[in-house]
Amino acid sequence: MNRLKNKVAVVTGGNSGIGFGIAESFKNEGAVGTITGRNETTLKISADALNNEFIGIKGDVNNLDDLENVFKKTAEKFGKIDVLVVNAGGVVDGVPLDSIENVTEESYDQYMDLNLKSAYFTVQKSLPYLNDGASIILIGSSAAHRAAPGMAIYGAAKAAIVFLAKGLSLDLLPRKIRVNTLSPGSIDTPVFGKLVPEEQLELVKQMWSDITPIGRQGLPSEIGNAAVFLASDESSFIVGTEILADGGLTNISLMK
């Protein structure tokens, strides 16, 4: 119940899916802090659901001034920050994941900006407000390791995230800030509604359950549990690495 007592956390994209699951797990372990997102309505609903132990601050992770504002306001309210979860990302609104024939320079940039560049600058903008000894958790993906149709750019961006945890851990060693990647497999979140029409939703989720060795999609709370470990002092010797929370998707083949 108190593994994160007295910790202040920022979870980007905490108003939906995995980010909300992480914020909820953090709250259940005694943390307070900030969730971010662009949608003010879901930010408010999510903050209320977290008993307002987490406040909502509106911000676009592609906008460096917005990022600065998130950390400045969090530090003003709570003091220094102990945990940063770089979670916002995934699907670009209105831009389908697609195979190379259909990708434009613009859609390439939009995916790379959301899933790689924004993560780098989220970390950079947090640094003046992070405590020495803080834990930074980058949300990666099993897509960094296992190709799937239409997901080459997304997977490449997430593979780069896995490396960022190593490079940034090195940069931040003097401050004893640990950076690790937490890579989910297929998790049941609203993201699938952004990818396929309503009538195909259950079919697509079932397809992911079928190819996941454990036989189902994961829950946001299961990513939350792993994030609690990485955020807490229990993971004090874990630096610059990746934890896969994917029901076996990356490492086990279901050969019949």
Ligand X SMILES: NC(=O)c1ccc[n+]([C@@H]2O[C@H](COP(=O)([O-])OP(=O)(O)OC[C@H]3O[C@@H](n4cnc5c(N)ncnc54)[C@H](OP(=O)(O)O)[C@@H]3O)[C@@H](O)[C@H]2O)c1
Q: Least distance to ligand X from the beta carbon of 101, Å?
A: 23
Count of residues interacting with ligand X (CB under 6 A): 27
Of the candidates 13, 33, 155, 224, which one interacts with ligand X according to CB under 6 A?
13
Burial degree of 98 (CB within 10 A; 0-12, 13-18, 19+)? middle
With CA atoms as reference, report the closest residue to 138 among 84, 71, 57: 84
Which residue, 53 or 60, is less far from ligand X as judged by CB? 60
Q: For residues 154 and 69, what is the distance between their CA atoms, to the nearest angstrom? A: 27
x/- track of binding to ligand X for residues 70-109 (CB under 6 A):
-----------------xxxx-------------------
**Subset of 124-163 contacting ligand X (CB under 6 A):** 139, 141
Contact 179, 138 (CB under 8 A): yes
Q: Applying CB under 6 A, which of residues 11, 18, 32, 137 lies at the interface with ligand X?
A: 18
Task: Look at the block and give the residue holding tokens 């309505």.
Answer: 41
CB of 161 to ligand X, least distance (A): 9
The set of residues, in sequence order, having a beta carbon less than 8 Å from that of 213 and lying 6+ positions away, is: 247, 248, 249, 252, 254
Among 34, 122, 181, 189, the residue binding ligand X under the rule CB under 6 A is 189
Residue of this chain nearest to ligand X (CB atom) = 17
111 carries an active-site annotation:
no
When the beta carbons of 45 and 127 are compared against ligand X, the nearer one is 45
- CB count within 10 Å of CB 39 equals 13
Which of 9, 11, 19, 145 binds ligand X (CB under 6 A)? It is 19
**Segment 216-255, which members bind ligand X (CB under 6 A)?**
none
Distance of closest approach, residue 2 Cβ to ligand X, in angstroms: 26
* Under rule CB under 6 A, residue 62 binds ligand X: yes
Q: How far is CA 85 from CA 126, 128, 233, 255, in A?
A: 11, 16, 15, 35
| Dist CA 169 CA 40 (whole Å) | 33
Active site residues: 154
